[in-house]
Structure 1
């Protein structure tokens, strides 16, 4: 896989992959520790869940402004500063004395998140040739998937045995080590961005770009309506043990690797099929979510399939977005994608919280399925229409 890529670019790609692992571990860690954090501050799970919502909405609000502010900065320097800010936020989370202090620390991490996920995919694609871009993107997503396999469950195990604070402190140590690694191996990359605020209207007039954003918010809302409350669902509805929950979350992460594999091997040849698979897989599993809870095996299978669908969507539509914009506009376009996706995360967490607060946790899958069906119809009717129209235009020009 790496034979035709110089080692000096493989090493920074690996650094970005590990960074993606750390960022995703940190973002979703509170999901696996929701019960413990709630008990620590004498709060309910739905009250503590607002931390996930606020984090997501801060990312949504700040992704574009922060990226416009720093888009002309040399990318290596920007990456290192982002990792430094992330490490600081993790440290403050680990020593938080009360819930407001924890929220403030998470907002600090959210600012670093806003920048990292705006630049990660564009940087990865710039390190390789066009032929290897799907591979480079799949590596970033693999880092995210491995976070679900080992990061989130490991964070949960550390939290169960040493306290949730130790989980954040462990992430602090790892992130500082990655910061030092990137300082040694990552090459200087000029921002290559002539993008300015005046170019935003042109970007947002592109119907394909706008459609990607609409689909991202709908998909994220549907998925995180269920995923944000997967721990209490597995415990209280599916009757899983604590170890069973940890193992299931790990297997869900394994399914992310499968989604990354499917993308890297089939996206170039079967683009439409890969896009369809993400939406169909999501909606089908959400509709079957309550029924799957009747048995341990069916519940694990549902988690595997929905995790695969989520990863497949995420990497596929990052690739779709990069296809539809210039390289100079890619970081800003990705910052909007990250922000809008996090609107969906926050919205899904809020909807899931309301469903849970009203005692309807067993039916949470149906709430997500309604939104997922909307996304599926929009993709098949609107996005594919604009995509075919664009491809036909390109053929006529060539």
Structure 2
């Protein structure tokens, strides 16, 4: 761990990227916290409202790689600003959506910006700082994600419960515009670097470690959203928590991610394989204990806190794994595929969770999700080599 402080020139763009990460993930999580209210407002079932999450995720899955290949030659600064503009536009469209179909279109617009943002956010974060601060830069990006869960989604839920879910999207849109203006002023004009083309894909696909990482991430995301996609109605119906307590639990879930980010910064570089396996083991335990813990507010809160720590620690550590095992020129594309894989799992998990809710009952979502997380843990422990390639490794 390095104790040398970062310069203001490094901090300013990193802060902008962190706020952007907060906004993008707040927007992604909003339907989770307001699922019941959106469903009632639009006159649809909770399962159908959950398809907003599935549609968003699968849009990211399908478009992340194609969009990144199309825009890979664009200057990073210009691409980042364009991405935030499209993101803001999608939020405003969500505000004025007259019905379910229009809201789905608006969410697809936001998802398209999500595709690009999470393909470039981590690679840009490590480029705006010196090499010695790369772990801190990645940790900062994930901190934005964690704050989205601890403050963004619960705050959005509070706004939605008080003055309507549309105003939640309006608040996100307004802050996004301000962030766009800020980054226009402070983000450096980085070089595009060597463009990655379709011809380079076979080389990427032959990277065995990278392929294993993608399989593990797909299983993890499916496990995660089988449970988390329906955590709000689970806490209300199974754990019998009042609305205010549900909001507090969701805040604690997200806040726990800050601990996961800190653990990554302190321990990941020294115990990489053990750290990866530990995050999956903790996620599996949390899912298996979710139903049992619902007998009391304190126990279900404790399980959610442990779950939140593991989720964010997993996310940042596997992003780091992806970046570290590919060439610099392939980092954005490899991250785009990572984003696609994660969102494929999110969509599959949300869909599978809906099926579980309909057929086995919402109380079974933890057990169902644990099947995938245990599978991911087995692959990680036995097949993902403990030896790690060097930074930006050649194939």
Relative to the length of structure 1, the TM-score reads 0.96
Alpha carbons 2:61, 2:344 under 8 Å: kept? yes
The DSSP-based 3-state class of the residue aligned with 2:312 is helix
1:367 corresponding residue in structure 2: 368
Q: 1:2 to 1:128 in 2, by over 3 A?
A: farther
Cα distance in 1, alignment partners of residues 265 and 388 from structure 2? 25
2:51 corresponding residue in structure 1: 50
Q: 1:93 to 1:281 in 2, by over 3 A?
A: same
Alpha carbons 2:324, 2:389 under 8 Å: kept? no
Cα distance in 2, alignment partners of residues 42 and 275 from structure 1? 42
2:240 corresponding residue in structure 1: 239
Cα distance in 2, alignment partners of residues 70 and 113 from structure 1? 14
User: Cα distance, 1:328 vs. partner?
Assistant: 0.9
Offset from partner CA, 1:19-52 (integer Å, 9 cap, x none): 0000000001000010000001111101110010
User: Cα distance, 1:193 vs. partner?
Assistant: 2.9
How many residue pairs end up in the alignment?
390
What runs of 5+ residues in structure 1 fail to find an aligned partner? none
Alpha carbons 2:93, 2:103 under 8 Å: kept? yes
Alpha carbons 1:2, 1:10 under 8 Å: kept? no
User: Cα distance, 1:383 vs. partner?
Assistant: 1.0
2:136 corresponding residue in structure 1: 135
Alpha carbons 2:118, 2:335 under 8 Å: kept? yes
Cα distance in 2, alignment partners of residues 367 and 187 from structure 1? 46
Cα distance in 2, alignment partners of residues 389 and 247 from structure 1? 39
Does 1:382 find its partner at 2:383? Answer: yes
Cα distance in 2, alignment partners of residues 107 and 124 from structure 1? 25
Cα distance in 2, alignment partners of residues 110 and 354 from structure 1? 24
1:330-369 aligned at under 5 Å gives the runs: 330-369=331-370
User: Cα distance, 1:389 vs. partner?
Assistant: 8.4
Alpha carbons 1:94, 1:166 under 8 Å: kept? yes
Alpha carbons 1:93, 1:165 under 8 Å: kept? yes
2:282 corresponding residue in structure 1: 281
Cα distance in 1, alignment partners of residues 155 and 12 from structure 2? 25
What runs of 5+ residues in structure 2 fail to find an aligned partner? none
1:200 corresponding residue in structure 2: 201
2:323 corresponding residue in structure 1: 322
The DSSP-based 3-state class of the residue aligned with 2:222 is helix
Alpha carbons 1:73, 1:190 under 8 Å: kept? no
Cα distance in 1, alignment partners of residues 130 and 13 from structure 2? 15
Offset from partner CA, 1:123-178 (integer Å, 9 cap, x none): 00111222211100000000000000100000000000000001001111010000
Alpha carbons 2:253, 2:305 under 8 Å: kept? yes
The DSSP-based 3-state class of the residue aligned with 2:384 is helix
User: Cα distance, 1:12 vs. partner?
Assistant: 0.2
Cα distance in 1, alignment partners of residues 162 and 118 from structure 2? 31
Cα distance in 2, alignment partners of residues 151 and 5 from structure 1? 27
1:84 corresponding residue in structure 2: 85
The DSSP-based 3-state class of the residue aligned with 1:128 is coil
Does 1:4 find its partner at 2:9? Answer: no
Cα distance in 1, alignment partners of residues 3 and 27 from structure 2? 28
User: Cα distance, 1:4 vs. partner?
Assistant: 3.3
* Regions of 4+ moved over 4 Å: none
Cα distance in 1, alignment partners of residues 157 and 388 from structure 2? 47
Alpha carbons 2:226, 2:368 under 8 Å: kept? yes
Alpha carbons 2:357, 2:364 under 8 Å: kept? no
1:260 corresponding residue in structure 2: 261
User: Cα distance, 1:359 vs. partner?
Assistant: 4.7
